[in-house]
Amino acid sequence: MTDPVLDIRGLSKNFGALTTSNNITLDLHPGEIHALIGPNGAGKSTLIKQITGELPPDSGSVHFNGHDVTHLPTAARARLGMGRTFQISSLAMDYTVLQNVTLGALGAQGGVFRFFRPAMQDKTLLHAARHALEQVGLEAFQNTRTSELSHGQRRQLEVAIALTLSPSAFLMDEPMAGLGVEGSHRLMGFLDGLRHKAPILLVEHDMDAVFKLADRISVLVYGEIIATGSVDEIRQNSRVQSAYLGEETLT
């Protein structure tokens, strides 16, 4: 088996007496979608923040692309190729859609401290930006102010920005949330193909999507991974059923 792109070992985090991550071990291999599910309050956000570098873990390590990134800041992890979409859209709301994506291309290309030539006339940046917009199907909205986009379009834009970074792995925090049936289907089709470009660690509430897309699923409950396995293994896992899936109907 190939080396994992993302390799998390023994990650733990406590807030006082509250353990939000307990000895978490998780990896992501090239070409796969690895879904992370768990009930609300299971510690998914805390885990994501430790992977992206917003929150330092108490112990354990995060390796990415062969580098130990445990102590690197968020920006450095992004530069190593960690492409991320946020649970709540995190965009420059006063900018146009194209400006937001160009921003991603600029972040990836570097050379931010140039003061004279107009960024929005830079052909290489624009080319990368438009290409990403086409991939998510937002090219018709490139001159729309981002604050005027619908919820679903903002999610697409998040993905487009992540694409401009040509990341070696995606970290997607509930990309389907609030998308509606049609939007979800569209995005699912897109993510399905995306996994061959770069693997995806997918945090998602939409079980349909998870079961259709995921190669592997990990279940997080009370800060602990109680099971990792294929879709069928997870469906049949009794611990998972009693701890988590009892709350939702599994069909």
Report d(CA 199, CA 191) in Å as an integer.
10
Nearer to another protein, 78 or 225 (CB): 78
Position among 66, 67, 120, 124 found at the interface with another protein (CB under 8 A): 120
Report d(CA 21, CA 43) in Å as an integer.
6
By CB under 8 A, is residue 161 in contact with another protein?
A: yes
Position among 46, 52, 70, 218 found at the interface with another protein (CB under 8 A): 52
Nearer to another protein, 111 or 193 (CB): 111
Report d(CA 202, CA 217) in Å as an integer.
9
Position among 5, 37, 106, 203 found at the interface with another protein (CB under 8 A): 106
By CB under 8 A, is residue 153 in contact with another protein?
A: no
Report d(CA 65, CA 210) in Å as an integer.
25
By CB under 8 A, is residue 114 in contact with another protein?
A: yes
Report d(CA 80, CA 108) in Å as an integer.
10
Number of residues interacting with another protein: please give it, by CB under 8 A. Answer: 39
Position among 42, 103, 213, 225 found at the interface with another protein (CB under 8 A): 103
Report d(CA 132, CA 138) in Å as an integer.
9
* End-to-end Cα, the chain, rounded Å: 32
Contacts 24+ apart (CB under 8 A), 64-71: 64/5, 64/6, 64/7, 64/168, 64/169, 65/5, 65/168, 65/169, 66/3
Instruction: State both tokens at 181.
Output: 């049936």
Contact call for residues 77 and 53 (beta carbons, < 8 A): yes
Nearer to another protein, 145 or 239 (CB): 145
Q: How far is the CB of 149 from another protein (least distance, A)?
A: 13
Position among 62, 165, 201, 209 found at the interface with another protein (CB under 8 A): 165
Among positions 180-219, residues that touch another protein (CB under 8 A) are none
Q: How far is the CB of 42 from another protein (least distance, A)?
A: 23
CB under 8 Å to 70, separation ≥6 — which residues? 57, 60, 61, 62, 63
Among positions 69-98, residues that touch another protein (CB under 8 A) are 73-76, 78-79, 84, 86, 90-96
Q: How far is the CB of 49 from another protein (least distance, A)?
A: 11
Contact call for residues 28 and 203 (beta carbons, < 8 A): no
Nearer to another protein, 147 or 236 (CB): 147
Report d(CA 5, CA 21) in Å as an integer.
21
Q: Which residues bind another protein (CB under 8 A)?
A: 52, 73-76, 78-79, 84, 86, 90-96, 99-100, 102-104, 106-108, 111-120, 122, 145, 161, 164-165
